[in-house]
Amino acid sequence: MLRASLEDAAVQNNPHTTLITATAPVSPDTHGGRTKCLQRLVRLDLPVPRTVGLSFDAVHRIARGEMPDMALLLSPFEQGELLCVRPSSGDPDWGGPSAILNIGMNNARFDDFAQRLGNETAASLYARFVHSYSLRVARLDPDVFDEIGVEGEASLNAALRAYEEETDEPFPQDPAVQLAEVLRSMARAWDGTSARLLRQGKGAPADAGLGLVVQSMALGFGEGECGSGVLQLIDRETGLEQLTGRYLSQSQGRDALEGGSKALFLERDARGPSLEELAPDAFRSLIEIAQLMRLKLREEMQVEFVIENGRVHILDGVRVSRTSRAAVRSVVRLAEDKIITRQEALLRVPPSALNELLHRQVDRSVSNDLIGRGVAASPGAATGKVVFTAADAQAAAARGESCVLVRRETSPEDIRGMHAAKAVLTERGGMTSHAAVIGRGIGLPCVVGATEMRFQMRKKLLTVSDGRTFKEGDVITVDGTHGEVLSGSVPMLEATLDDAFQTLLSWADDERDIGIRANADTPADAQTAKMFLAQGIGLCRTEHMFFEDDRLTVMREMIFAESSEDRSAALKRLLPVQRADFTELFRTMAGLPVCLRLLDPPLHEFLPSDHAGHRALAEALDIPLSDVTRRVEALSEYNPMLGMRGVRLGIKVPEIYDMQVRAIFEAAISVTTPEMPIVPEIMIPLVSAKREVELVKMRVDIVAAAVRAETGVDFDYKLGVMVETPRAALRAEDIAESTSFLSFGTNDLTQMTYGLSRDDAGRFMSEYVAQGVFAEDPFHTLDVDGVGELLILGAKRGRMARPGLTLSMCGEHGGNPESIAFCRAAGFDYVSCSPFRVPVARLAAAQLAI
Ligand code: PEP
Ligand code: MG
């Protein structure tokens, strides 16, 4: 006894191989999460079998061939008892080699166990060990052992024979040698290239360490009620309170989980009695233990246990592996039960996890037929019949059929088709291409830049890399969360905006200190933004309103007008339409700020691009086809993104902005009440010079004066500038003089800073990222070093001219947690993002403020 405790003391005093007691010096950073958790269970006085923890450092040395003193390592354990070794990494998600059980089993011990438990059980224990040792330690051919099985004496003899034949050596009999070899193989497995890449993919640092625990085996076999299982207090899918688990009599390890219909648990059914009936005391004590673990470990835990003749052993506790939906509900319940604080609850949910709640998702637990990949441009998944034109998408929707719109790339003309489709797939484009921006805006699953698929638009065929073709009407699924295209329809998980989600986000709003607005173009978008509690609209791309209903024809008439009178006539027809849109936006947002951007795209985007479209337009406008083609050609530009668009168009054809501004003012007046005064924000796109702002401001002031005079109503408005060109950022000081806000449009700003077309980036972006030219796609993750420098410079210079200047970001980066952190640090007032990103942004912003 004295000797044993001296040896215990020696193990305890060794920082690298430590007997896990309440006071042993272990931490998650030196020994891994499992070891630390076991210590917490020991501190709670739970019946945990004796355990020795090996530190990251010890395991690292083992991998290099420096073995610890094996006699010392084994000293805390009883002579003749079996051991198991389990991994203990910094984060359970990083994986690690799987556990090896029944170490110490050999011919002599087999006889002892046979006497106690019978031949068959003893043989099964031994056979399981020989099996895992052969495959995982000696690395023998799995085919040989797969045929042998692990139950009973015949399997044991066959396994021992196979080991000997394959290695020309008898199976090792010395428990110390067995243990040393197990430790060595697990340590080396962690260092292997594929294991390293796998865990780095899950966010592990390059030097992530592995700890190991050596634990005495609680067997789960023998007289009385014996067995093993797992138990948890919540349902892993929903997070709702529900006792769940599996138990299998006369079993060990993962038997209960893999035991199929043999495993049972709570209720008695055709399979036999429940654990509650078999071992009522053990069952009750397990529930108490699970509740205690929830309270003290401050987490929903899965309890791994063994019952030996009715006595409970707790082998381990791990956080319940769960869906994002269950994660949100469980942290909210923990905070409501005052086990954790609201702040901790907020910090425990990764913002991106909310995407799983906001959109339908492919059930990835089921295997699917992957036919292509691209950029995951807009999250969520949908199934439908392939259509190749926007018109076909609308026709399918009219027939009540779900369809997936497949295009080389989309343009504003496709908007109605996109609204009609359930998902969009494009060959070209990146994170800020048209399809991606619209997809995220309206919550439509979208994969873009699927360059490995062949898009034959005329033949209406989609050919995938293995040669299969999908024609119009064939069913595919677009998984916009993972950037995957699947053949046929697949099982889905539904979106769930439940009460726990709402509660968590209301806590987030209490914490955060940066505003979150939404980019919303239409009243429907504004409804979504309002539903997700955006604090206003930070960007309304007003041009998107022109693609609805019959407005496009009037817009085209305006573009084709030869004289100023004809143009004003067309604009007069557009005015009430725009006014109605703005009125509805102001009403929907009920007094929250609404920032309306004046027309931005080049005019040719409003014109048809093919012959049939030209002919239809000639008919609609009652002019010769040759006139249409002549005007289309005249308007086309070599590089339209850098051509006559944005404020340049506003200055060249000022009547368009005049009409838009008038519509904004008249709408604001019609919605304003003394309780809810509307102060519209008008934003000028693509500015690069102070004079541009002055010219537009002059005309806006004239229109305001005219509307005031006509209506006799006074009103306020704010005029701001979108910083989308590097020059606007550099000259922010003088540009800010005549504006009340600057909003950084990081899509164009990234495009222009890199000199990289946002619609063509998809062609080589993955290659660039793979080769490390860019750390990330800069259209997806804000380029802090380059574009970020312009943001900081622009913000600083703008505020030099006007200290109270409102600053914001409204590019697609606005919803990313990293960009929000950047904007917050730079003193921005708000970020604006797609409506469906608003919840993610609210949570991310709260985490930054905690
Ligand atoms: C931008 O350029 O960042 C922006 C928000 O405008 P758009 O995407 O409409 O060009
Ligand atoms: Mg822009």
Ligand 1 centroid to Cα of residue 812, in Å, is 8
Q: Is the pLDDT of residue 1 over 50?
A: no
Residue with the smallest CA separation from ligand 1 atom 10 is: 748
Least trusted range by pLDDT, from 83-92, 189-198, 229-238: 189-198
Question: Which ligand 1 atom minimizes the distance to the CA of 724?
Answer: 2
DSSP assignment letter at 217:
P
With CA atoms as reference, report the closest residue to 37 among 302, 230, 253. 302
Pocket test for ligand 1, best of 438, 517, 519, 539 (most atoms within 8 A of CB): 539
What is d(CA 47, CA 313) in angstroms, rounded to the nearest whole number?
5
Is 835:519 a contact under the CB 8 Å cutoff?
yes
Is 833 catalytic? The answer is no
What is d(CA 10, CA 6) in angstroms, rounded to the nearest whole number?
6
Is 685:600 a contact under the CB 8 Å cutoff?
yes
Contacts of 531 (CB under 8 A, 6+ apart): 835
Q: In this structure, which ligand is nearest to the CA of 749?
A: 1
Ligand 1 centroid to Cα of residue 642, in Å, is 13
Does 484 count as an annotated binding residue? no
Q: In this structure, which ligand is nearest to the CA of 432?
A: 1
Contacts of 687 (CB under 8 A, 6+ apart): 646, 647, 693, 721, 722, 723, 724, 725, 728, 735
Contacts of 44 (CB under 8 A, 6+ apart): 292, 293, 296
Does 541 count as an annotated binding residue? yes
Highest mean pLDDT among 10-14, 495-499, 622-626: 622-626
With CA atoms as reference, report the closest residue to 719 among 734, 737, 741. 741
CA distances in angstroms from 218 to 98, 120, 230, 248, 307, listed in the order given:
18, 18, 14, 14, 8
CATH (residue range 361-493): 3.50.30.10
271-308 burial code (b ≥16 CB/10 A, e <16): eeebbbebbeebbebbeebbebbbeebebbbbbbbbbb
Q: In this structure, which ligand is nearest to the CA of 814?
A: 1
Is 446 catalytic? The answer is no
With CA atoms as reference, report the closest residue to 388 among 488, 455, 321, 476. 455
- 16, 60, 434, 813: the catalytic one is 434
Please say whether the structural domain 227-322 has been given the CATH code 2.30.110.10. Answer: no
What tokens were used for 437?
Answer: 């921006």
The helix or strand, by DSSP H or E, that contains position 318, with its residue range, turns out to be strand 311-319
Residue with the smallest CA separation from ligand 1 atom 9 is: 541
What is d(CA 35, CA 18) in angstroms, rounded to the nearest whole number?
10
Ligand 1 centroid to Cα of residue 819, in Å, is 15
pLDDT band, very low/low/confident/very high, at 64 (cuts 50, 70, 90): very high
DSSP assignment letter at 411:
-
Does 597 count as an annotated binding residue? yes
Pocket test for ligand 1, best of 810, 813, 819 (most atoms within 8 A of CB): 810
Question: Which ligand 1 atom minimizes the distance to the CA of 685?
Answer: 6
Ligand 2 centroid to Cα of residue 767, in Å, is 25
The average pLDDT across 302-317 equals 94
With CA atoms as reference, report the closest residue to 596 among 666, 515, 548, 652. 666
The average pLDDT across 411-436 equals 87
For the beta carbon of residue 195, count every other beta carbon within 10 angstroms: 18
Which percentage of the chain shows pLDDT scores above 90? Answer: 65
Would you state the CATH architecture of domain 512-602+637-849?
Alpha-Beta Barrel (3.20)
Least trusted range by pLDDT, from 69-83, 259-273, 549-563, 732-746: 259-273
Residue with the smallest CA separation from ligand 1 atom 3 is: 745
| Residue ranges of domains in the chain | 55-216, 227-322, 361-493, 512-602+637-849
Please state the three-class secondary structure of 90-130 as a single string: CCHHHCCCCCEEEECCCHHHHHHHHHHHCHHHHHHHHHHHH
Question: Which ligand 1 atom minimizes the distance to the CA of 744?
Answer: 3
Is 372:453 a contact under the CB 8 Å cutoff?
yes
Ligand 2 centroid to Cα of residue 730, in Å, is 17
Pocket test for ligand 1, best of 432, 537, 742 (most atoms within 8 A of CB): 432
State the ipTM, two decimals: 0.99
Does 816 count as an annotated binding residue? no
Q: ∠87-93-98 over CA atoms, to 5°?
A: 30
CA distances in angstroms from 167 to 137, 145, 179, 323, 502, listed in the order given:
12, 13, 18, 44, 61
Amino acid at 460: K
On the 0-12 / 13-18 / 19+ scale of CB atoms within 10 A, 553 is: middle
Amino acid at 544: H
What tokens were used for 372?
Answer: 């292509």
Ligand 1 centroid to Cα of residue 13, in Å, is 62
What is d(CA 720, CA 595) in angstroms, rounded to the nearest whole number?
9
- Per-residue confidence (pLDDT) for residue 194, from 0 to 100: 80
Ligand 2 centroid to Cα of residue 689, in Å, is 16
Q: Token match 């337009």: residue?
A: 617
Is 349:259 a contact under the CB 8 Å cutoff?
no
Taking each helix axis from N to C end, the angle separating 746-754 and 787-801, rounded to the nearest 10 degrees, works out to 120
Q: Is the pLDDT of residue 267 over 60?
A: no
Is 46:314 a contact under the CB 8 Å cutoff?
yes
Does 550 count as an annotated binding residue? no
The average pLDDT across 438-456 equals 89
What is d(CA 341, CA 846) in angstroms, rounded to the nearest whole number?
14
456-488 burial code (b ≥16 CB/10 A, e <16): eeeebbbbbeeeeebebeebbbbbbbebbbbbe
Question: Which ligand 1 atom minimizes the distance to the CA of 432?
Answer: 8
Per-position DSSP letters for 581-599, written without gaps between them: HHHHHHHHHTTS-EEEEPP
Does 748 count as an annotated binding residue? yes
Amino acid at 787: V
Which position has the higher pLDDT, 751 or 204? Answer: 751
Is 597:539 a contact under the CB 8 Å cutoff?
yes
Ligand 2 centroid to Cα of residue 232, in Å, is 50
- Per-residue confidence (pLDDT) for residue 193, from 0 to 100: 83
Q: Is the pLDDT of residue 583 over 60?
A: yes
Q: Beta strands 484-487 and 475-479: pairing type?
A: antiparallel
- 37, 595, 810, 833: the catalytic one is 810
Q: In this structure, which ligand is nearest to the CA of 831?
A: 1
- Per-residue confidence (pLDDT) for residue 47, from 0 to 100: 96
DSSP assignment letter at 394:
H
pLDDT band, very low/low/confident/very high, at 733 (cuts 50, 70, 90): very high
Is 460:472 a contact under the CB 8 Å cutoff?
yes
Residue with the smallest CA separation from ligand 1 atom 8 is: 747
Question: Which ligand 1 atom minimizes the distance to the CA of 539?
Answer: 5
Does 747 count as an annotated binding residue? yes
Is 385:479 a contact under the CB 8 Å cutoff?
no
Pocket test for ligand 1, best of 541, 758, 833 (most atoms within 8 A of CB): 541
The average pLDDT across 601-622 equals 87
What does pLDDT average to over the chain?
91
- Per-residue confidence (pLDDT) for residue 227, from 0 to 100: 92
Long-range contacts of 621-627 (CB under 8 A, 24+ apart): 621/553, 621/556, 621/557, 621/560, 623/560, 627/560
pLDDT band, very low/low/confident/very high, at 272 (cuts 50, 70, 90): low
Q: Token match 């769940």: residue?
A: 244
With CA atoms as reference, report the closest residue to 315 among 182, 218, 179. 218
- Per-residue confidence (pLDDT) for residue 271, from 0 to 100: 60
pLDDT tens digit sequence for 118-138: 999 999 999 999 999 999 999
CA distances in angstroms from 680 to 216, 583, 672, 698, listed in the order given:
71, 11, 10, 17
List ligand 1's pocket residues with C-beta within 6 A: 437, 539, 541, 600, 724, 745-748, 810-811
Residue with the smallest CA separation from ligand 1 atom 4 is: 745
Bridge partners of 228? 248, 306
- Per-residue confidence (pLDDT) for residue 782, from 0 to 100: 95
Residue with the smallest CA separation from ligand 1 atom 1 is: 745
Ligand 1 centroid to Cα of residue 705, in Å, is 30
Number of residues assigned to the chain: 850
Q: In this structure, which ligand is nearest to the CA of 597?
A: 1
Q: Is the pLDDT of residue 736 over 90?
A: yes
pLDDT tens digit sequence for 142-177: 888 888 888 889 999 999 999 999 999 999 999 999
- Per-residue confidence (pLDDT) for residue 506, from 0 to 100: 97
Pocket test for ligand 1, best of 722, 742, 749, 808 (most atoms within 8 A of CB): 722
Number of H helices, E strands in the chain: 36, 30
pLDDT tens digit sequence for 2-13: 444 545 655 666
